Chains A and B, each alone.
Chain A
Amino acid sequence: MSFAVQVRDVTVRYGRTVALDHATVDLAAGAIHGLLGRNGSGKTTLLSVLASFRRPTSGSVLVDGEDPWENDRVMAGVCLVRESGDVYVDVSMKDNLRFVADARPNFDPELAGRLMDTFELEARRTPSSLSRGKKSAFGAIVGLASRAELTIFDEVYLGMDAPSRYAFYDALMADYVEHPRTIVLSSHLIDEIQRLLEGVVILDHGRVLLAEEADELRARGVSVTGPADVVEQFTAGRVVLGRQQLGRTVEITIDGRLTAADRSAAGDLGLELGPVDLQSLFVHLTEKGAVR
Chain B
Amino acid sequence: MTTPTLAAAGRVRRRSSTRVATRWLLSRNFVMAAWAAGILVLAVVVGPVLVDRFTTVEISVAQFGRQGFTWFPFSIAIITSSVYINVHVAAGMTRRSLGRASLVQAVTMAATYTVIMTVVLQLEALAFDAVGWGHKIVDENALFQDSSQVGWILADLGLVFLTAQVSGLLVGIVYYRLGGWWGTLALPFTVGPLILVSPLLTSTLLDPIAPLARVPLVGLVPVVLAALYLAVLRNAPLRKVAT
User: Which residues of A approach B to under 8 Å, CB–CB?
Assistant: 1-4, 29-30, 48, 51-55, 64-65, 70-72, 75-88, 91, 99-100, 102-106, 132, 135, 146-149, 179-180
Question: By the criterion CB–CB under 8 Å, are B240 and A75 in contact?
Answer: no
Question: By the criterion CB–CB under 8 Å, are B2 and A132 in contact?
Answer: no
Against A, the Cβ 8 Å flags (1 = close, 0 = not) of B56-88 are: 000000000000000000000000000110110
Selected contact of B2 from candidates A64, A78, A85, CB within 8 Å: A64
What are the residues of chain B within 8 A of A76 when measuring CB–CB? 17, 92-93
A30 to B2, CA, bound (A): 9
B6: Cβ under 8 A from any A Cβ: yes
Question: By the criterion CB–CB under 8 Å, are B20 and A103 in contact?
Answer: yes
By beta carbon, the residue of chain A nearest B3 is: A2
A51 to B95, CA, bound (A): 13
Q: What would 27 A/B residue contacts be, using CB atoms closer than 8 Å?
A: A1-B2, A29-B1, A48-B237, A52-B89, A53-B89, A55-B237, A70-B95, A70-B96, A72-B94, A72-B97, A79-B90, A80-B90, A81-B90, A82-B90, A84-B241, A85-B90, A86-B238, A87-B87, A87-B90, A88-B83, A88-B87, A102-B20, A102-B24, A103-B92, A106-B6, A135-B243, A179-B6
A148 to B90, CA, bound (A): 12
Question: By the criterion CB–CB under 8 Å, are A86 and B93 in contact?
Answer: no
Selected contact of B14 from candidates A30, A78, A85, A105, CB within 8 Å: A105
What number of B residues sit within 8 Å (CB to CB) of A? 36
- A4-B1, A86-B86 are contacts. A106–B11 as well, Cβ < 8 Å? yes
- The smallest C-beta distance from A135 to any residue of chain B, in angstroms, reads 6
Selected contact of A102 from candidates B4, B15, B86, B95, CB within 8 Å: B15
B235: Cβ under 8 A from any A Cβ: yes
By beta carbon, the residue of chain B nearest A127 is: B243
Selected contact of A132 from candidates B92, B97, B243, CB within 8 Å: B243
B12: Cβ under 8 A from any A Cβ: yes
B5: Cβ under 8 A from any A Cβ: yes
Given contacts A54-B237, A179-B6, A180-B3, 15 further A-B contacts (CB under 8 A): A2-B2, A3-B2, A4-B1, A29-B3, A53-B238, A55-B237, A76-B17, A80-B90, A82-B241, A88-B87, A103-B93, A104-B91, A104-B92, A106-B6, A132-B243
Question: By the criterion CB–CB under 8 Å, are A64 and B92 in contact?
Answer: no
- A70-B96, A76-B17, A147-B6 are contacts. A103–B91 as well, Cβ < 8 Å? yes
B53: Cβ under 8 A from any A Cβ: no
